[in-house]
Amino acid sequence: MAFNDVREFIDKLEQEGELVRMTDEVDWNLEAGAILRASHEKRLPAPYFEKIKDYPSNYKMAGGILANHRRVAIAMDMDPDTPPSELQEEYLKRSRNPIKPVVVKSGPCKENIILGKDVDLTKFPAPIIHGGDGGRFFATFHLNISSEVQPDGTTWTNYGMHRGMMFDEKRLGVTADPPTHFGGMLTRCEERGETMKTAIAIGPEPTCLICSASPIPFGVSEVDVAGGLRRKPVELVKCETSDILVPATSEIVLEGEMRPHEREVDGPFGEFTGYGVAGQLPRPVMRVTAITHRNNPVFTYSNEGMPLADSHSIVSITKAAECLKALRNFGIDVKAVNVPPECALQLTIVSVKTTYANVATDIANIIWSVRASRSMYYLIVVDENVDPFDLPMVLHALSSKCHPGKGIFQIKKAPIISYTPYADSHERLHRSGARAYFDCTWPKDWPAEEVPIRTSLAETYPEDMQKKALDRWKKYGF
């Protein structure tokens, strides 16, 4: 059953032991952020706050609601313990059958409507999330919604997730680089000298959140894919001050506009890489023209940083799924793809049956043509008998099969994102870095007798002896 709103999802997370309601008062200034950070680093449930300092008692906060694979599985109405490879396959299957949204006359997000001069972002508990952050971040787990008429006359509505620092009562940032869809739409608007209408939805049902953070292709509306994932159309309502459509059950909606080339410095901020390195950079500005919100609004937020946070958990499934699809489309005999959430989306591991020499080079070219690979600057290719989800086995393959002189391939100049930790400040500013892939497969052109055999139970004993050994252990209670 699809969740109608984030509240139903939160109830389900609680039932599954993935969320805890905290009744003590919590401060939006660092405390809510620290509690969520501890939850991520110690693998604890998502925190839900019943009472927030300085805010009305009916205002709630919820953090990290998709910050592990169990929560992602629950959002997709699947068994929470579904392994990541099955989540990838299900994501691919459902996203092949997108369902268009339906427009409804009204919805819960219209229960309160605040217009023009009454708009005041400080009326909501936007948190200071990490120590060292440059301000209160209003948008850290949300949808950035924008639309554009395509050359064929159809309208493409894009959902992205681009963080937003509050500049004052009526303005916040949208940290969207030009290569993102949101950033691209804004750049094209600016080139035409036009103001772009936009909206931010905080607390929609969870599949919209999954899609907004995932590498959905150019020209495809994330809300159609979300419909496919939840197997039911998303209900949308029109904004008060523009024609932008927003999910009707969103907790809080900010409507606004972005004037050409208007920039304001945001940051610093803790980032998904596990570090805060983007520092302070000029970012596009959204001027808020209206706020609509539900009664008793739930303010959702994230705490990106060291894994496991929301982005690691969501994108490790959807990015790996997109890579798997691209490799299969090319005809590569791929066994599995892992984008380990523990490596903060900077590493991809592919296991493959090597049917021809140097297949790792084809794999690298395909992986780095998939969108959102900009942050995945390391790639490890392993043979089919190495499970890419078994990280100790992957490290064993890396440290035994990758020829230090011939198996590490560098792409010395490549686009990167401004948050890249290894890059120096000049490289970050110009988003210019490098990539490397590690070929941990046995060379296809080696004679068979030269290929080392793993000294393992499965590979060096006859089957009956393997069984005998295991039976002996069983007899002694193991």
Ligand X SMILES: Cc1cc2nc3c(=O)[nH]c(=O)nc-3n(C[C@H](O)[C@H](O)[C@H](O)COP(=O)(O)O)c2cc1C
| Binding positions for ligand X, rule: CB under 6 A | 140-141, 158, 160-163, 175-177, 180-182, 212-215, 302, 304, 310-311, 314, 372
> Nearest residue by C-beta to ligand X?
160
Quote the tokens at residue 88. 């990838």
Taking CB within 5 to 8 Å according to partner kind, which of ligand X, Mn ion, none is near residue 176? Answer: ligand X
> 8 vs 5, 122, 178, 409, CA distance in Å?
6, 27, 35, 48
Residue among 66 and 382 whose Cβ is closer to ligand X: 66
* Alpha carbons 110 and 4: distance in angstroms, whole number: 16
245 binds, among Mn ion, ligand X, none (CB under 5 to 8 A by kind): none
CB of 219 to ligand X, least distance (A): 10
Chain centroid offset of residue 440 CA: 28
Nearer to ligand X, 110 or 312 (CB): 312
Rounded distance between C-alpha atoms, residue 198 and residue 158, angstroms: 10
Identify which of residues 140 and 354 has a Cβ nearer to ligand X in the complex. 140
Stretch binding Mn ion (CB under 5 A), from 130-138, 162-170, 178-186, 260-268: 178-186
Shortest Å, Cβ 176 to Mn ion: 10
Among 181, 428, 431, 435, binds Mn ion (CB under 5 A): 181
13, 19 in Cβ contact below 8 A?
yes
Per the CB < 8 A criterion, the answer to whether 284 and 174 are in contact is: yes
Are the C-beta atoms of residues 176 and 212 closer than 8 Å to each other? no
From candidates 85, 95, 144, 158, binder to Mn ion by CB under 5 A: 158
Residue 147 beta carbon to ligand X: minimum distance, rounded to whole angstroms: 12
CB 118 → ligand X: shortest distance, Å?
Answer: 28
DSSP per residue over 221-268, as a string?
-HHHHHHHHHTSPPEEEE-SSSS-EEETT-SEEEEEEE-TT-EEEE--
Which residue, 430 or 454, is less far from ligand X as judged by CB? 430
Q: Which is nearer to ligand X, 108 or 204 (CB)?
A: 204
Specify whether the CB–CB gap between 248 and 104 falls below 8 A. Answer: yes
SS3 451: coil
Amino acid letter, 64: G
Q: 3-state DSSP call for residue 213?
A: coil
CB-count burial class (<10 Å; 0-12, 13-18, 19+) for 20: middle
Between helix 310-330 and helix 84-95 the angle, nearest 10°, is 70
Question: How far apart are CB 50 and ligand X at their closest, in Å?
Answer: 23
Q: In the bound complex, what is the minimum distance in angstroms from residue 152's beta carbon to ligand X?
A: 19
Tell me the closest approach of the beta carbon of residue 114 to ligand X, in angstroms.
Answer: 25
Which listed range, 103-111, 128-136, 209-217, 382-390, lies at the site for Mn ion (CB under 5 A)? 209-217
Q: Cβ(66)–Cβ(48) under 8 Å?
A: no
Tokens representing 181? Answer: 């869809």
Between 146 and 354, CB nearer to ligand X: 146
The residues that bridge with 145 in the sheet, in sequence order, are: 159, 199
Shortest distance (Å) from residue 141 CB to ligand X: 5
Tell me if 428 contacts Mn ion by CB under 5 A.
Answer: no
Selection from Mn ion, ligand X, none that 180 binds (CB < 5 to 8 A by kind) is ligand X
Binding mask 364-383 for Mn ion (x = CB under 5 A): --------------------
Residue 162: contacted member of Mn ion, ligand X, none (CB under 5 to 8 Å, by partner type): ligand X
Which of the choices ligand X, Mn ion, none does residue 348 contact, using the CB cut-off of 5 to 8 A by kind?
A: none
Which of Mn ion, ligand X, none sits in contact with 401, Cβ below 5 to 8 A by type? none
Cβ atoms 138, 190 nearer than 8 A: no
Residue 321 tokens, joined: 């799924």
Taking CB within 5 to 8 Å according to partner kind, which of ligand X, Mn ion, none is near residue 299? none
Stretch that binds Mn ion, among 154-162, 268-276, 338-346, 355-363 (CB under 5 A): 154-162
Closest approach of ligand X to the CB of residue 79, in Å: 23
* Residue 163 binding result from ligand X, Mn ion, none, given CB thresholds of 5 to 8 Å by partner type: ligand X
Taking the C-alpha atoms of residue 36 and residue 28, their distance in angstroms, rounded to an integer, is 12
Of 121, 124, 125, nearest to 32 (Cα)? 125
Beta strand pairing status for 263-266 and 281-293?
antiparallel
Cα–chain-centroid distance for residue 408?
A: 28
Minimum CB separation of residue 91 from Mn ion in Å reads 16
Q: Choose from ligand X, Mn ion, none: what does 441 bind? Cβ within 5-8 Å by kind.
A: none
Nearer to Mn ion, 216 or 309 (CB): 216
Q: What angle do CA 57, 29, 175 make, to 5 degrees?
A: 110
| Closest listed residue to residue 164, CA positions, set 142, 183, 145 | 142
Q: Which is nearer to ligand X, 99 or 161 (CB)?
A: 161
**How many residues can be counted in the chain?**
478
Q: Which residue has the tokens 């078994």?
A: 390
Binding mask 215-244 for Mn ion (x = CB under 5 A): -x----------------------------
Compute the least distance from the CB of residue 109 to ligand X, in Å: 21
Comparing C-alpha atoms, which of 156, 159, 263 is closest to residue 202?
A: 159
Minimum CB distance to ligand X, residue 326 (Å): 16
The contact set with Mn ion (CB under 5 A) reads: 158, 181, 216
